[in-house]
A and B are shown apart, each in its own frame.
Chain A
């Protein structure tokens, strides 16, 4: 679950991290009014769930209210890597003496938390990692022990931050770790972390990804879920509790299990087609879930054919077949459907589908064959 910069800063402020005063604006007028209250100069910053805002013209310095109006006018509606700007954050501008980079994330390989700190901030950390890897100081934190101040101090020393920034950096980094752990974040990143002209270490940007699995212990996170970037199809699927990811092809995919769903998307592409989506209906595969899934796919105007790929384990073939038949009675599906049903009692399941078969509903003997049929139907063949 990705947060906008302003949400991340709100979260950080809750842990006592120094952030600039600012306001969210949804219109140019609101942006100007916010700047009026904050006092110029301000920064006008596009709020999008992607990087590269600065390069795309989404972050601007405004010395006057006229500048705010001009910049906000250009930034609203701007397309940044496919993300259209609907929100702008107006915050008090800072005097920057120096820029650093700081982050915590989970190192899946080491199975520990990984902190990264660099005296070279303000640029993409991937670029620093490629061109000057020794400029990044890394610290691995055992979750059982947590981050001690002594270790944090050594880490700051490793990163060779200037003397003037050391105390402030240690304080901010200890709080950043607390926000990361306590907030159940997958990533907290501050780039740049700055040293101001008057010697304060200050948080100038916030990139936060939260673990959606931890929502149960963070009531406030429900609000963040509402501002996730989803296309129309993903919003509809999310409302039905389906595991759905929109893609750009014309073969709708339904499968049970994340691995099988991913594999189905791959196989459709392998035989020359393009999948319209990833959709995992989970282990149950009953009529209700199947109907929901078909409805979501049916509403995708790009879909020309649907491939249902189900492997029966504990759930038997009869139950799955009845689910499909039941779903088709409830939803009027415009595209032809190919069903591949395998595993437990698959023969019994196919027998249930048999009387319903037509040009519109076909069965395939295996996954590759099913994908081929669906791709041919999407292309108007077969």
Chain B
């Protein structure tokens, strides 16, 4: 078991014929992901190293039974690509592309909720999702993750996620699923969505959460943890020393008007019973302690 994606997930890549899509799509296939199709309206009928290309997601789903889509198209085309995927009939959409306008994100988030309530969007501007040993969709280097659980990971940051996977692997700790929700203002999937999924997943025994400054998603997660989680959680929040009013790389990572500070998030999480590390290494050590104490 894993959350959101597993060995049965069949993936169509929107943008497989582009350089990024091709590179990562093929790496994902090498990892063992069932990469069943790509789309490009101008190249329908061709293939990328044996992966058939269809004109759109609906045709790809029809022909291959794809259940998920992965979006690598450039930012201006992401809004249309997300809606095409939902209309095409996949149930899970992973949007890797960065630089998508926030208004587009707010628009397709609400449109999906209204017209396609059973479709889950991950991203945009995220590294993707990996259920180690089963399915890797996106840009995570698969070999840095040890399969098997017991830890589920959810993160707003790409490289810090890799760091976490790597540190757990070094300690011999496996991961059930690692979800990169991305650093943008309107992520399709939130911390809370992932925490709920991990709480329900029998193979996940503990959860590691990596947040950063900006917004209130971590505070909402803390509230959810206090009220709904029985499984132990460790956390790390980046950006303790970030100055107010300056965006730190991610579109969402900004402290504005005294809100969204790392300290406030760390305090909220600690109050909810989460073991909060001061740096990524400490958060990894705390998770190792948690895992050692599991039955």
A binds B: yes
> Which A residues contact B (CB, under 8 angstroms)?
106, 108-109, 111-113, 126, 142-144, 181, 184, 186, 211, 213-214, 216-217, 243, 245, 247, 255-263, 265-267, 269-270, 275, 278, 280, 283, 311-314, 342-344, 366-368
CB of B252 within 8 A of chain A? yes
Report, as a range, how many residues of chain B touch the other chain.
Answer: 35 or more
Known A-B contacts A143-B103, A259-B157, A266-B279; A109 and B251 likewise in contact (beta carbons under 8 Å):
no
* Contact in complex: A344, B144 (CB < 8 Å): yes
> Which B residues contact A (CB, under 8 angstroms)?
24, 27, 75-76, 99-103, 106-107, 109-111, 114, 139-141, 143-144, 155-163, 166, 183, 185-186, 210, 212-213, 215-217, 220, 236, 238-243, 246-253, 257, 262, 278-281
Q: Which residues of the partner chain B approach A213 to less than 8 Å between Cβ atoms?
A: 75, 99-102, 251
Q: How far is the CA of A27 from the CA of B160 in the complex (A)?
A: 49
Query: Which DSSP category, helix, strand, loop or mixed, fits chain A's interface?
Result: mixed
Return the contact of A214 from the options B101, B156, B217, B278 (Cβ within 8 A). B101
Known A-B contacts A106-B102, A143-B103; A314 and B141 likewise in contact (beta carbons under 8 Å):
yes
Q: How far is the CA of A314 from the CA of B139 in the complex (A)?
A: 7
* Contact in complex: B186, A106 (CB < 8 Å): yes
Return the contact of A263 from the options B99, B102, B160, B166 (Cβ within 8 A). B160
Q: Which residues of the partner chain B approach A263 to less than 8 Å between Cβ atoms?
A: 157, 160, 236, 238-239, 279-280
Q: Contacts A266-B279, A368-B281 given; 6 further ones with Cβ under 8 A?
A: A258-B212, A262-B157, A270-B240, A311-B163, A311-B166, A343-B162
Q: How far is the CB of B47 from chain A (nearest CB, A)?
A: 23
- Which of A216, A243, A257, A368 gathers most chain B CB within 10 Å? A257
Q: How far is the CA of A318 from the CA of B141 in the complex (A)?
A: 15
Q: How far is the CB of A309 from chain B (nearest CB, A)?
A: 9
* Contact in complex: B110, A143 (CB < 8 Å): yes
* Contact in complex: A109, B215 (CB < 8 Å): yes
Q: How far is the CA of A366 from the CA of B243 in the complex (A)?
A: 26
* Contact in complex: A211, B166 (CB < 8 Å): no
Q: How far is the CA of A266 from the CA of B253 in the complex (A)?
A: 14
Q: Which residues of the partner chain A approach B185 to less than 8 Å between Cβ atoms?
A: 106, 108
Q: How far is the CA of A343 from the CA of B165 in the complex (A)?
A: 10
* Contact in complex: B246, A262 (CB < 8 Å): no
Q: Which residues of the partner chain B approach A260 to less than 8 Å between Cβ atoms?
A: 157, 159-160, 163
* Contact in complex: B75, A216 (CB < 8 Å): yes
Q: How far is the CB of A188 from chain B (nearest CB, A)?
A: 12
Q: Which residues of the partner chain B approach A280 to less than 8 Å between Cβ atoms?
A: 249
Q: Which residues of the partner chain B approach A366 to less than 8 Å between Cβ atoms?
A: 281
